[in-house]
């Protein structure tokens, strides 16, 4: 994108219902599921109850086979199996890092691929979910931003990432078990590939499913959406999702932020802060996370740290410092540990938590901003395998 080109979001999303073939129930809201059940022969009076039952099988117990839904009549199960499927993305590769981080490359409709990263922590675990294939934005330090956007993910493809991770972690509770206490996957961050607020409806519907008390049951406090600063959608995020918000802030002057996060030319620091000030009130969320990537000699000076705390005054916030993860050809370097420490101390002394994000899964290229290259490598190696095997194409 040239500097003057408008930042647009005219990307396509696959229709949820393909013109022919069975309908995937995964990703439908409760209302939408009710509608498709009725349209396919479920009596209207029963529809709400059926949604509740099917919903629990899919999202509470992780069941993918209608025939296992034993509280439904046999005939009705067969009828469902004819019209519907319960489908999640296909795991193409799975890599496990030395530090336990797991990275999945999953394939979605159309043969596209996105990456999902599971980060185990003491007593909890976070899943980093993608919302788009590539990204329309072009943040200069982000490898995903150099990949052209192919399309938005559907709600089913977004919640499907959570479901495949739970499959792999083997943490669906036993059918009939009282409450699900195992929480290897306790948190979701929308920090994978893509700008979630340029795919608002699908992200919202998927997160509603994640939060539904009769399913995956994650509290809204355990879901964090990261945005580069799509100002008009921030209010909607608070009102319609209510999750925690993280903002890719990364700079303390418009001049520098224009270069790092080009969406700043559309909505500058002032406009962004204005929207953020209203966020905690609307969503009841306690603090906004300001993500700040530490780039050597670009945004990491003491002056930057002081300006940062000045700018965010009045906003309940924590500052998450992210040591830059380099990628081949990246135009930046990571700030030194001493510089990061000094920056963190200034922020901390001004009264804000300033944790430094520990890069996880670097050995499998799963760290923040590294996701694109891994995909390309995987593609290349599969092509290579096919060529070696004389399969062509």
The footprint of ligand SAH (CB under 6 A) covers 139, 141-142, 191, 195, 226-228, 248, 291, 293, 322, 324-325, 368-369
Nearer to ligand SAH, 8 or 71 (CB): 8
Q: How far is the CB of 146 from ligand SF4 (least distance, A)?
A: 8
Active-site residue set: 115, 368
Closest CA to 153 of 103, 117, 205: 205
DSSP string, 169-226: HT-PPPTT-SS----SS-EEEE-SSS-GGGSHHHHHHHHHHHH-TTTT---GGGEEEE
Whose Cβ is closer to ligand SF4: residue 360's or residue 372's?
372
Q: Which does 108 bind (CB under 5 to 8 A by kind): ligand SF4, ligand SAH, none?
A: none
Q: Looking at 58, 117, 139, 225, which residue binds ligand SF4 (CB under 6 A)?
A: 139
Phi and psi, residue 222, nearest 5°: -100, 10
Nearer to ligand SAH among residue 353 and residue 385 (C-beta): 353
CB 391 to ligand SF4: min, Å: 33
DSSP H or E segment with residue 52: helix 44-55
Q: What is the CA radius of gyration of the chain?
A: 22
Question: Binding residue for ligand SF4 (CB under 6 A) from 248, 264, 330, 375?
Answer: 248
- In angstroms, what is the minimal distance from the CB of 138 to ligand SF4? 6
Candidate residues 137, 165, 203, 322; the one interacting with ligand SF4 per rule CB under 6 A:
137
Identity of the residue, 148 or 382, whose beta carbon is nearer to ligand SAH in the bound complex: 148
Q: Are 365 and 374 in contact (CB under 8 A)?
A: yes
Shortest-Cβ-distance residue relative to ligand SF4:
145
Least distance from ligand SAH to the Cβ atom of residue 327, Å: 6
Q: Which residues contact 316 (CB under 8 A, 6 or more apart)?
A: 280, 286, 287, 288
From residue 294, how far is each of 22, 30, 142, 242, 299 by CA, in Å?
48, 42, 13, 29, 7
Q: Which of residues 332-371 bind ligand SF4 (CB under 6 A)?
A: none
142 lies in the binding site for ligand SF4 (CB under 6 A): yes
Helix or strand (DSSP H, E) at 163: helix 155-169
CA angle 261/114/376 to nearest 5° reads 85
Span from 137-145, 200-208, 305-313, 377-385 in contact with ligand SF4 (CB under 6 A): 137-145
Answer for which of 135, 238, 243, 319 binds ligand SF4 (CB under 6 A) is 135
Which one among 101, 130, 144, 224 touches ligand SF4, defined by CB under 6 A? Answer: 144
Binding of residue 233 to ligand SF4 (CB under 6 A): no
- Which among ligand SF4, ligand SAH, none contacts residue 97 (Cβ within 5 to 8 A by kind)? none
CB of 224 to ligand SF4, least distance (A): 14
Footprint (CB under 6 A) of ligand SF4, residues 191-220? 194-195
Q: How many CA atoms lie within 13 A of 361 on its CB side?
A: 27
Q: What is the DSSP letter of 145?
A: G
Tell me phi and psi for residue 124, to 5 degrees: -160, 180
Binding at 225: pick from ligand SAH, ligand SF4, none (beta carbon under 5-8 Å per type): none
Q: Quick check: 293 and 320 in contact, CB under 8 A?
A: no
């Amino acid at each position: 994108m040239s500097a003057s080109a408008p930042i647009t979001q005219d990307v396509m999303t696959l229709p949820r219902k393909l013109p022919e073939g069975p309908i995937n129930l995964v990703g439908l809201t409760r209302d939408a599921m009710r509608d498709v059940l009725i349209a396919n022969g479920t009596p209207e009076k029963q529809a709400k109850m059926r949604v509740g039952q099917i919903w629990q099988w899919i999202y509470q117990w992780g069941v993918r086979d209608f025939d296992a839904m034993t509280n439904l009549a046999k005939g009705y199960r067969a009828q469902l199996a004819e019209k519907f499927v319960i489908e999640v993305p296909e795991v193409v590769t799975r890599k496990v890092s030395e530090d336990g981080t797991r990275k999945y490359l999953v394939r979605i409709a159309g043969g596209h691929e996105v990456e999902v990263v599971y980060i185990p922590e003491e007593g909890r675990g976070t899943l980093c979910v993608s919302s788009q294939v590539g990204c329309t934005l072009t943040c200069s330090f982000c490898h995903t931003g150099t990949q052209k956007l192919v399309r938005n993910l559907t709600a089913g493809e977004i919640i499907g990432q959570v479901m495949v991770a739970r499959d792999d972690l083997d943490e669906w509770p036993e059918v009939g078990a009282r409450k699900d206490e195992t929480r290897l996957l306790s948190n979701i961050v929308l920090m994978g590939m893509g700008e979630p607020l340029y795919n608002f409806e699908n992200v919202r519907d998927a997160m509603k499913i994640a939060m539904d008390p009769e399913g995956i049951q994650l509290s809204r406090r355990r879901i964090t959406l990261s945005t580069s600063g799509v100002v008009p959608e921030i209010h909607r995020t608070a009102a319609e999702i209510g999750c925690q918000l993280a903002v890719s802030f990364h700079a303390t002057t418009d001049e520098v932020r224009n270069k790092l996060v080009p969406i700043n030319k559309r909505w500058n620091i002032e406009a962004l802060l204005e929207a953020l000030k209203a966020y905690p009130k609307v969503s009841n969320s306690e603090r906004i996370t300001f993500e700040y990537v530490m780039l050597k000699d670009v945004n990491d000076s003491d002056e930057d740290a002081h300006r940062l705390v000045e700018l965010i005054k009045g906003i309940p916030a924590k500052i998450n410092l992210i040591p830059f993860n380099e990628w081949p050809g990246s135009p930046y370097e990571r700030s030194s540990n001493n510089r990061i420490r000094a920056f963190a101390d200034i922020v901390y002394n001004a009264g804000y938590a300033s944790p430094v994000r520990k890069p996880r899964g670097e050995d499998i290229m799963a760290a923040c901003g590294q996701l694109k290259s891994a995909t390309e490598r995987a593609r290349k190696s599969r092509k290579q395998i096919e060529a070696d095997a004389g399969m062509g194409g």
